[in-house]
Structure 1
Amino acid sequence: MSTAALPAQQPGRAVAWIVGVLVAIALFGNYYVYDSIGPVADLLQQQRGFSDSQIALLNAIYSLPNVVLILVGGVLVDRFGAARMTLVTAGICALGAALTAFSPDFAGMAAGRLLFGIGAETFNIATLAAVADYFGGRGLALAMGAELAIGRLGSYGADMSPTWFSKAYAAGWQPPLTIAAVIAATAFAASLAYWWVDRGPRRAGLLPTGHKQAEKFVWRDLLHFGTAYWYLLALCVLWYSVILAFRSTFSIKYFQHVHGLDLAMAGEMNSYVFLAAVFATPAFGWMCDRVGRYAPFLAFGALLLPVALGVLALTSASLWVATALIGISYSLVPAVMWPLTSRLVAPNRFGTAIGLMWVVQNAGISGANLVAGWLNDRAGASAANPGGYAPMMEFFGLTSLAGCVFALLLWWVAGRARHEKAVRA
């Protein structure tokens, strides 16, 4: 995305907050639809005969197109403007959600999730650019944090939907996905309203996106990244692969079959991770900024994930213990990872660095979903055979441990760099 300076004049404060509210509504819908598969996973297996591999594919296929599209999403936003791209991609997402809800077979549902994925990641970039358009230089961090917090409330809402919409779930797998499609349509309506409000400031030349030369993704810039960045990239792909594949696809089903929770309670338990992140992520970010030591916090957050998975799979401790640990990890790691990236690479290569991290992140999430689904099917994981989930948990545990190793290597490299800087001083 373009790193050009903002125009000297900016839209009025009232217009900025109207846009902020509309973008927040749209983000809520996008996050809700993404996480709408987990709560219906057991129903899809019971009522439609889907295997765990098929259920995994419904989330994995979301990430697959973004292995490529994420590289051009920022360029499209820079070229056509945040408002226009938000509207277009919100429309694509709404069509994908509708196709998922109303398709008569698995192929149609998978096509709907693929269509949703094609729109969703560029939609996320466009909404972040929208916040930067209207709040750049005046409370941007607060505004962006608030927008992402509202988005995470969408994930919380999806997990709580079995409780909030219990009658819909009692009617089968389709009504819950229909609700998700309606919420996607609401997100599209909010995006349309944002595009309408945006026309005035854009015509007045007060916004940076939509009329600047988009920066190119330059592969040779990768040669200038240091060792610490590559350790951070490895942590990024391993940590996100585990936490999103588990929490967004299999955790609710796992809680039902292994820990004996009903659907409503399993969704509620899963939701607390997202609810905690709404408040804790900005707080952890503020704390790391004040202390000025990012790598130790990142290593601590990464360590909590394999510990939490071990508590889940190997002990009889209350689910609240593992949920709390995962919640802290989910709040702490993102709060540190993205600011730390900006410290590890030159400003003129930051876009390339983030783009590459998002590419491998999406590839990792897709791969982890597919592997976990295959392991469950191979071991016959089900309510009648809860032990069949053990291979999946071993896979997630080992992958998260590998991520922790890279976090510790990053901490070591950062500590050595601080020592060398002190000696030179």
Structure 2
Amino acid sequence: MNENTTDVFRPKPSPFYRYLVLVFMSLAMFGNYYVYDSIAPIADILKSGLQFSDENIGQLYSVYSIAAVIVLIFGGIIVDKWGTKKSVILFGVICSIAGIITAVSSDFTVMLAGRFLLGVGSEPLIVAITTAIAKWFKGKELSFALGINLFIARMGSVAADNSPSFASGLYVNWQDPLFLAAGLGLLCIVSGIIYYILEANAERKFDLGKAGETDKFILTDIYKFNGSFWLIVLLCVTFYSAVFPFRSFAIKFYMEAHGLSRESAGFYNSILPMASMIATPFIGLLVDFIGKRALLMMFGAILLLPVYLMMAYLGVSLVIPIIMMGVSFSLIPAVMWPSVAYIVEEKRLGTAYSVMTLIQQIGVFAFNWIIGLSNDYSGASAANPEGYNLGLWLFSTLGILAFVFAYFLRKREMGPFGHGLEKGMAAGGR
């Protein structure tokens, strides 16, 4: 018996302890998501109070994506080198400072710097927290833990969208809502510190698993990806470019083009993340059973096709197109991301997901800016609601492209180059 024998027999942390750690890691994500989505509810106030253009508002989102692209490759390396405890605190501090910088000044350049800093901290924070969760939860529990983490994180988006309802008194100016966001953004620091303390204590008392290395981006792997993967990448970038930039301007659009109150517009905008939070896990289970992944991606793209033009030209209730968009937003991601594992070799999955995320962020960067420009070009406003139609046509075009890519993906998967995307457990598939 050697001196390390006592380490072997250290107990595992209790379920309560593990889920306590999960809650605090998830609260850091909540604060992060809230800060990101805090611009949309004040977009009209930024325009009327600070004379920001819609292009400027789009740039406040675009600059986040620029930063995310820059740090995407290096964030995982830092997490591997520093470990999850230090990384969560480092990137949590960056996110919290970013929220404060965005709120303290009416100068557009300062706000832009704050949003850029948010992109620098946010994406690596997500990587660090995901890696930490994988250390605390194993096997079947891991998927459940990641689901809880994402649920709490997206509650940050829902809360930001609905802040005009529960914090209506703050919306007399542009700054108070951003101070609220900065305050909630401090969860990134506070929760990170509590997580650090909990894990440091657990390392002394319990037998913790080791965190695996983060998925690596390997440039040469790009040349080994097949056509099905690139079709999924194209579907990914067109789909997210049609959804996230729309959300950036949706509250302002609902207010000015459809006469909704700020509270109602915020609630309508929150339907997308709420639908995704609730429906995505069930869709994932259904898809595992029935397969038909490419077909379901086609269906999700079809649902997205008419949504924007319905909002522009038909007198139907906004509830109908928003529900259609919510179903699409729940369906496509739930099918698309897991499908990559069927198409790409396991050793190249890190590069595959990095490429998808990088190109997705480039698309979101471009279309936040483009939609802002199109709104300015067309004079979109409460006095000229038709000015939003150009941007809605651009979103519809992206929806058409998403359908085309999903169609060709299904066509390819039904042929000799298929990877089993259409097979489910019911058919004895993978």
| TM-score of the aligned structures, taking structure 2 as reference length | 0.92
Report what 1:94 is aligned to.
96
The one-letter code matched in structure 2 to 1:67 is V
Report the more deviating stretch, 74-83 or 113-122: 74-83
Q: Does the CA contact (< 8 Å) of 1:75 and 1:215 recur in 2?
A: no
Write the deviation string for residues 99-135 of structure 1: whole angstroms up to 9, x where unpaired: 0011131111111111111100111111111211111
Structure 2 matches for 1:290-309, cutoff 5 A? Answer: 290-309=289-308
Cα distance in 2 between the residues matched to 1:213 and 1:154: 28
Cα offset, 1:418, TM superposition: 7.7
Q: Secondary structure at the match of 1:208?
A: coil
* Unmatched 5+ stretches in structure 1: 1-6
Inter-partner Cα distance in structure 1 for 2:419 and 2:353: 27
Structure 1 position 140, deviation (Å) = 0.9
Hey, what does 2:163 align to over in structure 1?
Answer: 161
How big is the shift at 1:75?
Answer: 2.2
1:106 aligns to what? 108
Mapping for residues 316-335 of structure 1, pairs under 5 Å: 316-335=315-334
Shift of 1:202: 4.5
Aligned to 2:352: 353
Retained in 1: the 8 A contact 2:76–2:216?
no
Query: Does residue 225 in structure 1 map to residue 225 in structure 2?
Result: yes
**Counterparts of 2:98 and 2:46 in 1: how far apart (Å)?**
18
RMSD: 2.1
Q: For residue 374 of structure 2, what is the amino acid of its counterpart?
A: L
Residues of 2 paired with 1:420 and 1:240: CA distance?
24
Q: CA deviation at 1:10?
A: 5.6
What is the one-letter code of the residue matched to 2:198? V
The one-letter amino acid of 1:344's match is I
Within a 5 Å distance, the mapping from 1:36-55 to structure 2 comes to 36-55=38-57
Q: 1:321 to 1:215 in 2, by over 3 A?
A: closer
Equivalent in 15, 27, 30 of residue 13 of structure 1 = 15
Shift of 1:78: 2.1
In the TM superposition, 1:237-276 aligns within 5 A as 237-247=237-247, 249-276=248-275
Q: 1:308 to 1:202 in 2, by over 3 A?
A: farther
Structure 2: how far apart are the matches of 1:45 and 1:283?
Answer: 40
Partner of 2:80: 78
Structure 2 gap segments, 5+ residues each: 1-7, 424-430
Give secondary structure in 2 for the equivalent of 1:399: helix
Q: 1:20 to 1:214 in 2, by over 3 A?
A: closer
Alpha-carbon deviations, 1:143-192, whole Å to 9, x = none? 111111111111111110001101011x3111111000000012320111
Paired residues for 1:94-173 under 5 Å: 94-169=96-171, 171-173=172-174
CA drift at 1:215: 6.4
User: Hey, what's the Cα distance between the residues in 1 that align with 2:80 and 2:285?
Assistant: 29
Aligned residue number for residue 4 of structure 2:
none
Give the 3-state SS of the residue equivalent to 1:378 in structure 2: helix
* Corresponding residue SS for 2:414: helix
Rounded Cα–Cα distance in structure 2 between residues aligned with 1:59 and 1:402: 23
Cα shift readout 1:346-376 (whole Å, capped 9, x = no counterpart): 0000000000111111111000001001111
- Quick one: distance in 2 between partners of 1:338 and 1:201? 33
C-alpha distance in structure 1 between counterparts of 2:419 and 2:80, whole Å? 40
Residue 96 of structure 1: how far off its partner (Å): 0.5
Structure 1 residues 122, 153: closer, same or farther in 2, change over 3 A?
Answer: same
* CA distance in structure 1 between the partners assigned to 2:386 and 2:292 by the alignment: 41
> Is the 1:79–1:214 Cα contact (8 Å) retained in structure 2?
no
1:393 equivalent in alignment to 2:395 = no
What code does the residue aligned with 2:260 have?
Answer: L
Question: How far is the alpha carbon of 1:231 from its aligned partner?
Answer: 0.1
Measure the CA separation in 1 of the matches of 2:274 and 2:218. 38
Query: Structure 1 pair 76/101, CA: closer, same or farther in 2 (3 Å)?
Result: same
Q: Which amino acid aligns with 1:100?
A: T
Contact 1:79 1:213 in 2 (8 A): no
Q: Which residue of 1 aligns with 2:426?
A: none
2:310 is matched with 311
Does residue 413 (structure 1) correspond to residue 415 (structure 2)? The answer is no
Deviations 1:271-318 (A, max 9, x none): 122212111011111111111221111221122122212221221111
1:232 counterpart letter in structure 2: I
Query: CA 1:10/1:225 → structure 2, altered by over 3 Å: closer, same or farther?
Result: farther
2:3: which partner in 1? none
- Number of equivalences: 413
Q: SS where residue 416 of structure 1 aligns?
A: coil
Q: Determine the structure 2 residue equivalent to 1:178.
A: 179
Quick check: 1:43–1:173 contact (8 Å CA) kept in 2? Answer: yes
- The 8 Å contact of residues 201 and 207 in structure 1, kept in 2 or not, is answered as no
Output the CA distance in 2 between the equivalents of 1:118 and 1:180: 18
In structure 1, what is the Cα distance between the partners aligned to 2:222 and 2:126?
24
Q: Which amino acid aligns with 2:98?
A: G
User: For residue 193 of structure 2, what is the aligned residue in structure 1?
Assistant: 192
Which deviates more from structure 2 when the two are superposed, residues 133-142 or residues 377-386?
133-142
| TM superposition score normalised by structure 1 | 0.93
Q: Deviation digits for residues 5-46 of structure 1, max 9, x if unmatched?
A: xx9986443321111111121111111111110000001001
One-letter amino acid of the counterpart of residue 359, structure 1:
L
Q: In the TM superposition, what is the alpha-carbon distance from 1:194 to its structure 2 partner?
A: 0.5
User: Percent identity among equivalent residues?
Assistant: 36
